[in-house]
Chains A and B, each alone.
Chain A
Amino acid sequence: MTAPLLDIKDLRLGVAVNRSTVHPLLKGISFQIMPGEAYGLVGESGSGKSVTSLAVMGLLKKPLTVSGGEILFKGQNLLALPKREMRRLRGNRIAMIFQEPMTALNPLSTVGRQIAEMFVLHQGKSWGEAEKLAVEALGNVRVPNPDRRAKNYPHQMSGGLRQRVMIAMALACDPDLLIADEPTTALDVTVQAEVLRLIKELCAARGTAVLFISHDLGVIASVCQRVGVMYSGCLVEENDTRALFDNPRHEYTRGLLGALPRLGSRSEHGRQRLVDIDSIIADRSKLTETRFIAPRGPEGSQP
């Protein structure tokens, strides 16, 4: 069996309210991502999915503090890594795309130069060489007229194109792990479909593993092979995507799936009332005390 690329073990973190008390945000979550695998974290606002990704990227700032656990990337604990080492890894071996490309891109620099910077910083290329590579990278994410577009500033591009630039930047150094935090939430549905297809195809072709974070079960289902469902700082259920959607076993997962208007269900079964999670789960605070549900199966992958 191959070693996992990312192995998060009992990660606990919280926000320091004052000197003595820490409000917990992650109450001990564990999951693994295999090389080349697309893993989805799904959950509602405040469930802790974004803070998990920030912890992996080493981007936690005060008052967020890790209080326990390990984040092993290729066997190396990222939490114990010196800042300088982490900087070398970030953007190079682990890259990230964000929800809003306009705030993530530098408005004062052309997109070509921003992509080229990746090659200069991480691969020691000269600027001239790097800018050629940047045009190539734009072509790879199917931006039309890449040589002309490389000279554009972010504000001259549409939301979909900007997100492609982000993807080009993230994949510039062929990272082992791509973290995508709600990358398509701000986009129109048809653009979203194109961007999702692009992420899926590029990562599959290069063997890049993906940690995909979204509140949208449909988006997760179309990209990921395995899914973890987060609720209130806990991973409540984890399974292969198909198994999770066909046979959800945790009551929260069942509630979440029932709350979703499904395409085509009205013509098959008539209009059915959507499930109100609060009515089937009388006390939400008790929910996370129930045990974590891991997939059954011959592999017996542990929680």
Chain B
Amino acid sequence: MTAPLLQVDDLHVRFPISGGGLLGAGKRTLHAVNGISFELAKGECLSIVGESGCGKSTTALSILGLQEPSEGMIRYRGQPLAGPGAPGRMQRAKAVQMVFQDPYASLNPRQSVHTSLAAPLRLHGVTAASEIEGRIEAMLRNVGLTPEQAKRYPHEFSGGQRQRIGIARALILEPEIVLLDEPVSALDVSIRAQIINLLLDLQEKLGLSYLMISHDLSVVEHMSDRVLVMYFGEVVEEGGWRDIFEAPAHPYTRRLIAAIPDPAAALNPVERQDRVDNVPLLAGRRFVSDGSTSPDVFTAPVPSELVEIAGNHKVRLASA
């Protein structure tokens, strides 16, 4: 078997928090990510869902190389992406790129679209003007903009167009993995639909692998192949999108799904209850937390393990 495109193995990220006391008194450690493991295959869309503070963005930052892991390995095509032997920024940029939530904040207001897109190409050794022009033109068409718009500045575009520029900027170096951090949550409903359609089209056309971070479960259900549910730094459930949405096993996953304000569900609450309750019983094993109380982030988590309950559908249970 060939190595998966991206492999995250037992990733831990801990932050030292100063207690404000003299000589380091009251120093504590915040456990942001506690032993996350997953693999991302070529052409797949894997989503990490969870609420604020669950560690999903920290996980993404580690993969991008913006946050050094405290423990664990991240491999890209079998090669380490963090720690000793990791490639530099330049190589990493060709492997992984990110699309941010707020394109207006992530684009340089003083650079025209052309400048924003040409800079990474020049940095990566594309010097021929004709090639730069050609690639920018093709990329703008790919994301549904016209080459003439390259002369404009970010403030001249609407929110949806800016997100298209954000996507173009992420894709210009032809990375294999694209991290999508809440790519549509800042957008209006009609624009959101356009960007979701665009992301799915690009994935098919360019064979991209997406790692999407989101709290919007209806978007996640629509786009993902597989889903990881994170709760306080740990994966509490993982599986194919059908496993997670049709047979959620962990109480936290169920709570998340039940909390989505969905018109059909709001109007037909009985129907949805059936969908969520139709889960095989996990006899004899208990959950560490049902997601209704917050664990202490300053202590290491209670020992627990991910148990496979069906093919590739895993849920976190307390250690036997």
Contact = CB atoms under 8 A, between A and B. Distances in A.
Interface of A: 44-45, 188-193, 196, 215-222, 241-242, 245-246, 255-264, 266-267, 271, 273-278
B189 A215 contact: yes
A263 B217 contact: yes
Contacts of B190: 44, 255-256, 259, 276-278
16 contacts: A188-B215, A189-B51, A189-B256, A192-B261, A216-B261, A218-B261, A256-B190, A261-B196, A262-B264, A263-B221, A263-B264, A264-B221, A267-B245, A271-B222, A274-B194, A277-B190
- In the complex, the 10 A-B pairs of residues with the closest C-beta atoms, listed nearest first: A218-B261, A259-B193, A222-B266, A274-B193, A193-B259, A261-B222, A221-B263, A188-B51, A44-B188, A221-B266
B156 interface: no
B218 A262 contact: yes
A190 B259 contact: yes
A15 to B, nearest CB: 19
B263 A266 contact: no
Nearest to B188: A44
Contacts of B221: 261, 263-264, 266
Given A189-B217, A190-B51, A263 B265 contact: yes
A97 to B, nearest CB: 17
Nearest to B263: A221
B242 to A, nearest CB: 6
B197 A274 contact: yes
Contacts of B159: 45
Contact residues of B: prevailing secondary structure: helix
A260 B261 contact: no
Contacts, number: 118
Contact of B262 (A45, A256, A262, A273): A262
B94 interface: no
A216 B259 CA distance: 14
Nearest to B265: A263
Given A260-B218, A262-B218, A263-B245, A221 B261 contact: yes
Interface of B: 51-52, 159, 188-190, 192-194, 196-197, 200, 215-219, 221-222, 241-242, 245-246, 255-267, 272, 275
B226 to A, nearest CB: 14
The binding surface of chain A is classed by DSSP as helix
B193 A218 contact: no
Contact of B260 (A44, A257, A263, A273): A263
A25 B52 CA distance: 35
Contacts of A241: 267
Nearest to A45: B188
A266 B222 contact: yes
A260 B257 contact: no
Contacts of A245: 263-264, 267
A193 B193 contact: no
Contact of A215 (B188, B194, B262): B188
B266 A218 contact: yes
Nearest to A260: B189
Contacts of A192: 259, 261
B218 A261 contact: yes
A256 B263 CA distance: 12
Contacts of A45: 159, 188
Contacts of B197: 273-274, 276
A267 B242 contact: yes
A272 B135 CA distance: 31
A66 to B, nearest CB: 26
B120 to A, nearest CB: 29
A192 B261 CA distance: 9
Contacts of A277: 190, 193
Contacts of A193: 258-259, 261
B196 A274 contact: yes
Contacts of B264: 245, 262-264
Nearest to B195: A274
Nearest to B49: A189
A288 B51 CA distance: 38
A219 B146 CA distance: 36
A157 to B, nearest CB: 14
Given A190-B255, A262-B262, 11 more contacts: A188-B215, A190-B259, A193-B261, A215-B189, A221-B261, A221-B263, A261-B222, A263-B272, A264-B262, A276-B193, A277-B193
A176 B194 CA distance: 40
A242 B267 contact: yes
Given A218-B262, A241-B267, A188 B52 contact: yes
A266 B218 CA distance: 10
A12 B195 CA distance: 33
Contacts of A256: 189-190
A57 to B, nearest CB: 24
B219 A261 contact: yes
A240 to B, nearest CB: 11
